[in-house]
Amino acid sequence: MNRFNLSDAHPCDTPMVAGLILCRPDKTIPILPEIAEWQAWTLYHTLVGALNYIAVTTCPDVTFTVGHLSSFMDCYMPDHQSTAIHILHYLKGTWTMGLTLTSTDALCLVGYLDSD
Question: pLDDT tens for residues 32-70?
Answer: 888 888 888 888 889 999 999 989 888 888 999 999 999
Region of residue 104 (left: phi > 0; alpha: psi -120 to 50; beta: else):
alpha
Residue 115 has pLDDT above 80, yes or no: no
Task: Categorize the per-residue pLDDT at 98 as very low, low, confident or very high, splitting at 50, 70 and 90.
Answer: low
Comparing CA positions, the residue from 21, 10, 22, 69 lying closest to residue 42 is 69
Question: pLDDT tens for residues 5-23?
Answer: 677 778 888 888 888 888 8
Q: Please, which residues have CB within 8 angstroms of residue 60's CB and are 6 or more apart in sequence?
A: 99
